[in-house]
Amino acid sequence: MTNLDCTVINCAYNKDKSCSRNDISVEGNNAILPSETSCGSFKPKTSDKVDNSCRCVKKETDVSCEAVECKYNASYKCSAKHIGIAGGHADNSSETECSSFER
């Protein structure tokens, strides 16, 4: 499991920079820069209520990763102990990124 901090405040799963999903997916198969990645699990917030798919808010999250050039990608799973997902007021997945991506 990866310790996840998320600054995408417009995501329905975000509460206090934590994720309420059991897992997330980082997209960006051809990424060589953090800006070429995205959180494939992003869901736009439609109210102030958190979409709590795991009925909890936690820091540890299972992260699948398509960014094969990232040094933390181990057979499509994130091996980093800590990552950040950035995107502030993103309206869609393409406006998010894995800020911890390292080639």
Report pTM: 0.85
Q: Are 38 and 84 in contact (CB under 8 A)?
A: no
**How many CB atoms sit inside 10 A of residue 60's CB?**
12
b/e map 21-42, b = 16+ CB within 10 Å: beebbbbbeebeebebbbbebb
Give domain limits for the chain: 2-98
Walk along the chain (103 residues) and give the pLDDT tens digit of each residue.
788 999 999 999 998 888 888 899 999 999 999 999 999 999 998 866 555 555 566 678 899 999 999 999 999 999 999 999 999 899 999 999 999 999 9
